[in-house]
């Protein structure tokens, strides 16, 4: 079956612009996660959805970051007024019971 998909695969933006990143989880997976990976670093948790609610959003680094999930399916991560330190690969994962499956990521470059 289809895995987790993310779009766009690459995004280049100018400092100060807003960006939206999209994640389509595996069909039927109720849990959805966003992580961030800076160059050469490990993965940094951002937010966890169970259905449409977000029981853990403790990883969002600032109020410029927000995420929503509609219909227990697609999720969008929005970064407002992007900064150069936001440059990273943004990874989405989904799970049903325990194993998290990751998408290919969106590489965000802020100039």
Given the rule CB under 8 A, which residues bind another protein? 31, 33, 35, 41-43, 45, 48, 50, 56, 58-59, 89, 91, 93, 95, 97-102, 104-105
Residue 72 C-beta: closest distance to another protein, Å: 14
| Positive or negative: CA dihedral 49, 54, 55, 60 | positive
Helix (H, G, I), strand (E, B) or coil at 64: coil
Q: Which is nearer to another protein, 58 or 62 (CB)?
A: 58
Alpha carbon distance 69, 80 (integer Å): 17
Residue 26 C-beta: closest distance to another protein, Å: 12
Q: Which is nearer to another protein, 14 or 97 (CB)?
A: 97
Alpha carbon distance 42, 24 (integer Å): 23
63-72: buried (b, 16+ CB within 10 Å) or exposed (e) per residue? eebebebeeb
Residue 106 C-beta: closest distance to another protein, Å: 11
Q: Which is nearer to another protein, 30 or 80 (CB)?
A: 30
């Amino acid at each position: 079956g289809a895995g987790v998909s993310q779009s766009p695969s690459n995004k280049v933006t100018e400092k100060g612009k807003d960006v939206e990143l999209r994640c389509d989880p595996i069909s039927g997976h109720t849990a959805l996660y966003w992580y961030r990976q800076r160059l050469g670093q490990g993965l940094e948790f951002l937010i966890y959805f169970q259905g449409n609610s977000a029981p853990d959003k403790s990883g969002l680094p600032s109020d410029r970051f927000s995420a929503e999930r509609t219909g227990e399916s697609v999720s969008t991560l929005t970064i407002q007024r992007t900064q150069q330190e936001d440059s990273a690969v943004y990874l989405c994962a989904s799970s049903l019971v325990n194993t998290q499956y990751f998408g290919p990521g969106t590489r965000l470059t802020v100039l």
